Amino acid sequence: YFCFSTLNKGLGEDKEYLSTNIEGILSWTNIQNGLVIFKHSDDYIMNLLKSNDLNLISKQIISGFHDETEKKQVFFNIYLTQKQMND
């Protein structure tokens, strides 16, 4: 099994994300500290799983924390996958 998380839509949606040279990946740079944030489309994630022989078992949305700066609840997507067993 392989489990990972991504930031759910909502936090930072007002930011201007730019396309990268990889379809399905966007980036935004915080000009105050230089931190680069990447976003991945659902299609990109599903294609990545497929190309690595991983089956999606479950995707859940959970509440992570309350962001005091943006005054919003922050949610995460939790993915549970399983490696395909090839004969």
Strand order in the sheet with 36-40: 18-19, 25-29, 36-40
User: Could you please report the per-residue DSSP string of 34-56?
Assistant: --EEEEE-HHHHHHHHHHTTEEE
pTM: 0.74
pLDDT per position in the chain (87 positions), as tens?
999 998 886 655 656 888 999 999 999 888 889 999 888 888 999 999 999 999 999 999 998 888 787 788 888 999 999 998 876
* Angle at CA of residue 33, ends 32 and 34, nearest 5°: 105
